[in-house]
Amino acid sequence: MKNNIHLSQKGFSMNPLQAKSNVFCLLLILLFSSAIGQTLAKEKAPIFTLTDIDGNSFSLSECSAKVVLIDFFATWCGPCRGAFPTLREFYDEYQRDQLEIVSISPENIDDLEVFAKTPQINMTWIVVSDPTGSVFDSYLGRDTRIPHMFLIDSDGYIAYDHLGWRGNEDESELRSKINAIISGNNNTSNTDQPGWPLTTIAIIVVIIIGLLVAGLVAKGRILGGSSSSKSRSKNARTSVLWLLGEEKLFSR
């Protein structure tokens, strides 16, 4: 019986059905990878301790609020200022055991104090200086665009982050996320996760194995046709070798 997969001078080829099946499997794996990555890639918020404009020390690890809103900003940033009325409203609306707000800038603490207490600005929440930029780096990495806000849940995980400020639209989304975390209805889990490198890859491996098994069944039907069970078993073994890239695929 002529094998559907054959070796040529340019390598091996496969029939159109097999090619379509492989493309479909690849796309399915990519879709699962993306969905799982978004769900499981929970990240612990970097811990920090900084001094605020009143000389008090703020430590993220010691904050008992259900949600901590971290706002990375600069005094010269227009969109950052645009978010201040919403932050002020949130600070007045929620109790401190529900929401704490911390605005972080790398600028000099004395300059920050003057700026924050200007009547037109009136930053009534916690404002701290990150003079070394270490907290900025730990959260933002190379993407230093601001304003950039993070919501940290009570277990210390980053539950949400948002870049930029578009006024009412962002206010509504931010409020919704805060309420969801406070009520315990946030989509992200509050338990420790091994994260992308372990959990997600393990699940992807399981998915791939399932796809391989399905592929073997389909391939056995294609190659087996009306042949005996012994022939179908041989074809299945051939399929496994092909999937693994072994040269033994091309049986004599």
Indicate whether 217 pLDDT > 60. Answer: no
Most confident of the following: 123-137, 180-194, 208-222: 123-137
Indicate whether 71 pLDDT > 60. Answer: yes
Q: Could you tell me the pLDDT band of residue 246, with boundaries at 50, 70 and 90?
A: very low
Q: Could you tell me the pLDDT band of residue 208, with boundaries at 50, 70 and 90?
A: confident
Residues in the chain: 252
Q: What is the CATH number of domain 49-183?
A: 3.40.30.10
Mean pLDDT of 183-207: 54
Rounded Cα–Cα distance for residues 13 and 169 (Å): 53
Residue ranges per domain, the chain? 14-35+196-249, 49-183
Q: Could you tell me the pLDDT band of residue 219, with boundaries at 50, 70 and 90?
A: low
Indicate whether 140 pLDDT > 80. Answer: yes
Indicate whether 142 pLDDT > 70. Answer: yes
Mean pLDDT of 186-207: 50
Determine the pLDDT at residue 16.
58
Q: Could you tell me the pLDDT band of residue 251, with boundaries at 50, 70 and 90?
A: very low
Determine the pLDDT at residue 252.
38
Do the beta carbons of residue 136 and residue 143 sit within 8 Å? no
**pTM value?**
0.61
Determine the pLDDT at residue 185.
80
Indicate whether 227 pLDDT > 80. Answer: no
Indicate whether 121 pLDDT > 70. Answer: yes
* Structure-model confidence comparison of residues 53 and 15, the more confident one: 53
Q: Could you tell me the pLDDT band of residue 58, with boundaries at 50, 70 and 90?
A: very high
